[in-house]
Amino acid sequence: KDVRAGAGGPERPASHGVPGYPGRAAFRPGADNEYVTRLGERLVRKGFGRSYTSGPGSRWGEADRRAVEAFQRAQGWRGGAADGYPGPETWRRLFA
Protein backbone atom coordinates (compact mmCIF):
# COMPACT_ATOMS: atom_id res chain seq x y z
CA LYS A 1 0.00 0.00 0.00
CA ASP A 2 1.36 3.42 -0.99
CA VAL A 3 1.05 5.79 1.97
CA ARG A 4 3.29 8.61 0.75
CA ALA A 5 1.59 11.97 1.24
CA GLY A 6 0.66 13.60 -2.04
CA ALA A 7 1.69 10.63 -4.18
CA GLY A 8 -0.53 11.56 -7.09
CA GLY A 9 -3.36 12.17 -4.68
CA PRO A 10 -5.98 14.89 -4.79
CA GLU A 11 -5.17 18.57 -4.50
CA ARG A 12 -4.65 19.73 -0.94
CA PRO A 13 -7.76 21.33 0.53
CA ALA A 14 -8.28 25.05 0.33
CA SER A 15 -7.60 27.18 3.38
CA HIS A 16 -9.25 30.55 4.08
CA GLY A 17 -10.74 30.62 0.57
CA VAL A 18 -7.29 30.08 -1.00
CA PRO A 19 -6.81 27.12 -3.39
CA GLY A 20 -4.59 24.43 -1.88
CA TYR A 21 -0.83 24.81 -2.38
CA PRO A 22 0.30 21.99 -4.69
CA GLY A 23 3.82 21.63 -3.24
CA ARG A 24 7.26 22.79 -4.36
CA ALA A 25 7.63 20.02 -6.96
CA ALA A 26 4.98 21.75 -9.11
CA PHE A 27 7.40 24.66 -9.63
CA ARG A 28 10.68 22.94 -10.46
CA PRO A 29 12.48 23.95 -13.67
CA GLY A 30 10.75 22.29 -16.60
CA ALA A 31 7.61 21.39 -14.62
CA ASP A 32 4.51 21.51 -16.82
CA ASN A 33 1.15 21.63 -15.04
CA GLU A 34 -2.01 23.62 -14.37
CA TYR A 35 -0.58 25.13 -11.17
CA VAL A 36 2.13 26.95 -13.12
CA THR A 37 -0.58 28.41 -15.37
CA ARG A 38 -2.76 29.37 -12.39
CA LEU A 39 0.20 30.99 -10.62
CA GLY A 40 1.27 32.93 -13.72
CA GLU A 41 -2.23 34.20 -14.39
CA ARG A 42 -2.53 35.37 -10.79
CA LEU A 43 0.86 37.13 -10.95
CA VAL A 44 -0.25 38.99 -14.10
CA ARG A 45 -3.56 39.93 -12.47
CA LYS A 46 -1.69 41.29 -9.44
CA GLY A 47 0.63 43.38 -11.65
CA PHE A 48 3.73 41.16 -11.62
CA GLY A 49 3.64 39.97 -15.24
CA ARG A 50 6.37 42.17 -16.76
CA SER A 51 8.80 39.26 -17.13
CA TYR A 52 6.44 37.40 -19.50
CA THR A 53 7.09 38.02 -23.20
CA SER A 54 4.28 35.57 -24.00
CA GLY A 55 2.05 33.62 -21.70
CA PRO A 56 2.06 32.77 -18.89
CA GLY A 57 1.83 29.11 -19.75
CA SER A 58 1.90 25.72 -18.08
CA ARG A 59 5.68 25.13 -18.24
CA TRP A 60 7.70 26.61 -15.35
CA GLY A 61 10.50 28.82 -16.61
CA GLU A 62 12.70 31.80 -15.86
CA ALA A 63 9.91 34.32 -16.57
CA ASP A 64 7.79 32.63 -13.88
CA ARG A 65 10.68 32.66 -11.43
CA ARG A 66 11.33 36.36 -12.04
CA ALA A 67 7.64 37.22 -11.65
CA VAL A 68 7.44 35.31 -8.35
CA GLU A 69 10.65 36.97 -7.15
CA ALA A 70 9.20 40.43 -7.94
CA PHE A 71 6.06 39.55 -5.96
CA GLN A 72 8.13 38.26 -3.04
CA ARG A 73 10.27 41.41 -2.99
CA ALA A 74 7.08 43.49 -2.99
CA GLN A 75 6.18 41.64 0.23
CA GLY A 76 9.39 43.01 1.75
CA TRP A 77 11.17 39.65 1.58
CA ARG A 78 14.90 39.54 0.82
CA GLY A 79 17.61 36.94 0.26
CA GLY A 80 16.40 33.34 0.36
CA ALA A 81 12.87 34.47 1.16
CA ALA A 82 12.74 36.07 -2.32
CA ASP A 83 14.19 33.20 -4.35
CA GLY A 84 11.48 33.24 -7.02
CA TYR A 85 10.08 29.84 -6.07
CA PRO A 86 6.61 29.91 -4.53
CA GLY A 87 6.26 28.30 -1.13
CA PRO A 88 3.04 27.99 0.86
CA GLU A 89 3.17 31.59 2.14
CA THR A 90 3.82 33.09 -1.31
CA TRP A 91 0.91 31.01 -2.66
CA ARG A 92 -1.40 32.07 0.17
CA ARG A 93 -0.61 35.76 -0.27
CA LEU A 94 -1.05 35.62 -4.03
CA PHE A 95 -4.44 33.94 -3.85
CA ALA A 96 -5.80 35.67 -0.72
pLDDT at 71 over 90: yes
Q: Is residue 22 one of the residues assigned to a domain?
A: no
HSE-CB at 15 with a 13 A cutoff on CA atoms is 10
Q: Tell me: the pLDDT tens digits for 42-67?
A: 999 999 999 999 889 999 999 999 99
Provide the domain limits for residue 50.
29-95
Q: For the chain, what is the domain count?
A: 1
User: According to the model, what pLDDT value does residue 19 have?
Assistant: 75
User: According to the model, what pLDDT value does residue 55 have?
Assistant: 86
DSSP sequence for 49-75: -TT-SS---SB--HHHHHHHHHHHHHT
Residues 70-86: what's their mean pLDDT? Answer: 97
CA torsion 59-64-68-74 (nearest 10°) is -150
Task: Name which residue leads in pLDDT, 48 or 17.
Answer: 48
Q: Is residue 35 one of the residues assigned to a domain?
A: yes
